[in-house]
Amino acid sequence: MVNDIKLNHARRSEITGVNLYGSRAEITRSFKLGVKEGQNNVEIEGLPWVLINDSLRVEGRGPATIHDVNLSPVEGPLKPPTTATLDELSLRKKRTENAFERCKKSIGALEGFLNTVNAQFTKSNDLRNVLENYDASAGVLDDKVMELEKELSQIEEQIKEERKRIAPKTHHDLGYRMSVGVVADSDTEVELVLIYAVTSASWKAAYDIRVDTSGGSNPVKLIYKAVITNATREPWDNVPLTLETATPTFGVELPSLDQWTLSVYQPTHTLMKSKRIAVPHASRATLAGGYSGETEKYHSTIEDSSSPMAHLTTQVTSKGAISATYRVPGLVTIPSDSSEHTFTIVELDLDAAMTWYSAPKLDTRVHLKAKVRNDSEYALLSGNASVYVDGSFISKTTVPAVSPLESFDCPLGLDQAVRITYHPVSKKASTSGFYNKSASHLYIQRLTIHNTKASGIPLLKVVDHIPVSEDSSITVKLISPALKVPSIGGGGLTTNFSETHGTLSLNKSDNKPSVQQSQSSSHTRTASVSVAEVVASSAGPNVKVANGIVAQWDSADEESVDGDALGRDGKINWLCEIPAGEKVNLSLQWEVSMPAKTRVVGL
């Protein structure tokens, strides 16, 4: 004889663990029950509809054997039920509709009687009485019609609410039913553990980045937060939560290329093939082991309660080359309300190098940014960030995916105390040659940088560019700064080494401080990178324009730079170290040569 045991998953179990991924969650749910000797059929209802079939596993503890496991959707009633309240409301609605029709007929009869009155054959006093009686009777009927309309509207609303209350639940509301066959040698207590994945649950990273420009080391405090959403219709009450940075997949195989063939086109008809979602097949396993779906890719174990944490911060429980696992401290409660719930993962004090940046041809304003190094063991996922500088909110930005020991750029807004003047370009034309005349145009672009701050700027990167020729008859020659240019076939860029190595003027005496001296004398307390440090790590050629001023091809100081491509786009940058209150003048000079009377597009 089979002993039937019916359980509701919400009332007869507890969630012992939630592993939350970017777009789904893995739930571990424990049932404790008593079984009788022999065959027991345990039915568990109310499993969420968003459960992923192939992810289901059943494990157990106790002296019994799992015989088989079946999963099926819960069927609802075939037709909508009714109640005494609904019947009474329907009867009231019918009576009200009848009364409403009677009032309309009465008003129609009253209108018909008034149409039969002939003023020529009616005395004036009688006509007055007729009209007064019509007005009084019509007013009463109008009031009754409005009352009946209002009552009818209220009844219809009540009927709507009652039908909504007793409406049959959909598969999404009823969820899944699972039956587990358990064979026991004697009456005993056992524990069944269900491990399954669900959709409609997710978490994403969010950050608060707080920058202290007056501090020394580790000027950036990064608050790493998890924004969690639960729409599974399964509330998580006082559960241990683990955040996973990996992205689990189901049924994803290595791609394999098919043979590539060619043939003459012939019209064919294509038939669509349908797909079926497989439900886990039954299997046998002891309660010391468990049952699992064939294509399950998750890995989870039943853990004992963790020891209390000393600090409210997450613990990196495991990490690999591409992912990490974070354990949120304590127990958390997340209702299934589709709202966002925010938890702090950790607060990190990170090192950062402050730099200033400007492309004055497009915008003469100077931007401040920080290159933040992730010296922690936490992998940062891509997410939105709120940036605060010295306690003031500056902007919103996006933090890219950053692994431990990697760096990322964080914009910190504009520095209004650094001003750049981009002067109008000057042009000088000349002609040379006797038989084959050629025309040359010399262009000079001047820039003035004024640091009005009370502290020096360790590194300001100013970016500009010169034109690049796409025609062999047009030659562009960079004159100042005299950077070495990779050879380019046909036109392109050339460098005139006979010219000066750039121009620079400072509004002080000729006895200028060196790079190291200006750093110490500028009283800059912000953790910043210097010009010398950037030049030392640069992959391309550079020209020292003056003390504290170096010119190079743009992108030469980037980590993944292609040295052969430097200069081919015509972009140049100056790395400037500007003391407090100083002005710096920069000059960019280039020459464009072409056959006389050639019309050049782009100048």
**pLDDT (tens digit per residue) in 127-139:** 777 777 878 888 8
For residue 225, the model assigns a pLDDT of 92
Please, are residues 478 and 496 in contact by the beta-carbon 8 Å criterion? yes
- Helix boundaries (H) for 176-236: none
* Inside any domain, residue 205: no
- Rounded to an integer, what distance in angstroms lies between the CA atom of residue 154 and that of residue 226? 46
- Residue 369 is encoded by which pair of tokens? 């940014």
* Inside any domain, residue 603: no
For residue 596, the model assigns a pLDDT of 84
Domain's final residue, options 141, 166, 191: 166
Higher pLDDT, 135 or 191: 191
Q: Give the list of residues 6+ apart from residue 120 with CB closer than 8 angstroms, or none.
A: none
pLDDT surpassing 90 at residue 447? yes
> What letter does residue 472 receive in the DSSP assignment?
T
- Rounded to an integer, what distance in angstroms lies between the CA atom of residue 156 and that of residue 421? 73
- Measured CA to CA in angstroms, residue 532 lies from 81, 508, 537, 547 at distances of 82, 22, 9, 11
- Rounded to an integer, what distance in angstroms lies between the CA atom of residue 104 and that of residue 152? 15
* Inside any domain, residue 91: yes
pLDDT surpassing 60 at residue 533? yes
Burial 191-222 (b: 16+ CB within 10 A, else e): ebbbbbbbebbbbbbbbbbbbbbeeeeebbbb
Domain's final residue, options 166, 183, 205: 166
Answer positive or negative: Cα dihedral of 93, 99, 102, 104: negative
Please, are residues 505 and 528 in contact by the beta-carbon 8 Å criterion? no
pLDDT surpassing 80 at residue 224? yes
pLDDT category at 108 given cuts 50, 70, 90 is confident
* Inside any domain, residue 384: no
For residue 535, the model assigns a pLDDT of 64
Average pLDDT value for residue range 59-70: 88
Higher pLDDT, 120 or 495: 120
H/E run at residue 96: helix 84-116
For residue 563, the model assigns a pLDDT of 73
Portion of the chain with pLDDT greater than 70, in percent: 75
Counting runs of H as helices and runs of E as strands, what totals does the chain give?
5, 33
Furthest-apart CA atoms within the chain: distance in Å: 125
Higher pLDDT, 486 or 229: 229
Average pLDDT value for residue range 558-573: 81
Pick from 138-142, 264-268, 343-347: least confident: 264-268
**Phi, psi dihedrals of residue 93, rounded to the nearest 5°:** -65, -40
Higher pLDDT, 537 or 64: 64
Mean pLDDT of the chain: 78
pLDDT category at 315 given cuts 50, 70, 90 is low
Domain's final residue, options 129, 150, 166: 166
Residue type, 406: E
Average pLDDT value for residue range 309-338: 68
**pLDDT (tens digit per residue) in 231-272:** 998 999 999 999 988 776 655 677 888 888 777 877 655 433
For residue 283, the model assigns a pLDDT of 36
pLDDT category at 314 given cuts 50, 70, 90 is low
**pLDDT (tens digit per residue) in 351-367:** 888 889 999 999 999 99
Query: Considering only CA atoms, which of 422, 252, 230, 264 is closest in space to residue 339?
Result: 230
The dihedral region occupied by 109, where left means phi > 0, alpha psi between -120 and 50, and beta the remainder, is alpha
For residue 195, the model assigns a pLDDT of 93
pLDDT surpassing 60 at residue 280? no
* Inside any domain, residue 432: yes
- Rounded to an integer, what distance in angstroms lies between the CA atom of residue 245 and that of residue 522? 43
For residue 538, the model assigns a pLDDT of 62
Q: Give the list of residues 6+ apart from residue 393 with CB closer than 8 angstroms, or none.
A: 386, 387
pLDDT surpassing 80 at residue 561? no
Average pLDDT value for residue range 156-173: 75
Report how many domains make up the chain: 2
> What letter does residue 92 receive in the DSSP assignment?
H
For residue 219, the model assigns a pLDDT of 86
pLDDT category at 12 given cuts 50, 70, 90 is confident
Please, are residues 347 and 222 in contact by the beta-carbon 8 Å criterion? yes
- Rounded to an integer, what distance in angstroms lies between the CA atom of residue 539 and that of residue 553? 10
Q: How many CA atoms lie within 13 A of 528 on its CB side?
A: 27
Q: What is the DSSP string of 250-278?
A: SS-----PPP-----------PPPP--PP
Please, are residues 177 and 72 in contact by the beta-carbon 8 Å criterion? yes
pLDDT surpassing 90 at residue 222? yes
pLDDT surpassing 60 at residue 303? no
pLDDT surpassing 80 at residue 540? no
pLDDT surpassing 80 at residue 590? yes
For residue 20, the model assigns a pLDDT of 94
For residue 451, the model assigns a pLDDT of 94
**Phi, psi dihedrals of residue 591, rounded to the nearest 5°:** -125, 135
* Inside any domain, residue 154: yes
* Inside any domain, residue 486: yes
- Rounded to an integer, what distance in angstroms lies between the CA atom of residue 94 and that of residue 109? 23
* Inside any domain, residue 212: no
Q: How many CA atoms lie within 13 A of 166 on its CB side?
A: 14
For residue 257, the model assigns a pLDDT of 83
pLDDT surpassing 70 at residue 16? yes
Burial 425-454 (b: 16+ CB within 10 A, else e): eeeeeeeeeeeeeebbebbbbbbbbbbebe
pLDDT surpassing 50 at residue 383? yes
The domain of 149 spans 84-166
pLDDT surpassing 60 at residue 475? yes
Portion of the chain with pLDDT greater than 90, in percent: 30
pLDDT category at 209 given cuts 50, 70, 90 is very high
Query: Considering only CA atoms, which of 231, 226, 476 is closest in space to residue 327?
Result: 226
Residue type, 217: S
